[in-house]
């Protein structure tokens, strides 16, 4: 593993517990309604880049990419609909 591989992999580490335990029925520690979509969208897009970098299957990269784009669109819609403070 090269140093560039480590630089790409290190930001992925915080996502690993969520990726491992999101489907468990007794793990309800993820507040899905309160996630900051404006910060999570770019992070998921980075995860799609990391998946592409490490040669995951194209369908996996595409699925992560679509999730990131959906989160960004949701964040933009929330910003537009939110009253100005």
Boundaries of every domain in the chain: 3-81
Q: What does DSSP assign to residue 82?
A: S
Q: Looking at residue 30, what is its pLDDT?
A: 65
Q: Looking at residue 18, what is its pLDDT?
A: 74
Q: How far is residue 16's CA from residue 50's CA, in Å, rounded to a whole number?
A: 13
- For the chain, residues with pLDDT lower than 50 are none
Q: How far is residue 77's CA from residue 17's CA, in Å, rounded to a whole number?
A: 28
* Best CA proximity match to 41, nearest among 66, 14, 10: 66
pTM of the predicted structure, to 2 decimals: 0.80
Main-chain phi, psi angles of 31, to 5 degrees: -80, 85
Q: Looking at residue 70, what is its pLDDT?
A: 92
Q: Looking at residue 17, what is its pLDDT?
A: 78
């Amino acid at each position: 593993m090269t140093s560039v591989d480590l630089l790409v992999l290190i930001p992925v580490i915080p996502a690993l517990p969520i990726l491992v335990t999101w489907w468990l029925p007794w793990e309800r520690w993820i507040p899905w309604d309160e996630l900051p979509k404006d910060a999570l969208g770019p992070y998921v897009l980075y995860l799609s880049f990391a998946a592409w970098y490490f040669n995951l299957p194209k369908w996996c990269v595409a699925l992560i990419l679509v999730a990131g784009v959906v989160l960004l669109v949701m964040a933009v819609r929330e910003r537009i609909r939110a009253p100005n403070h």
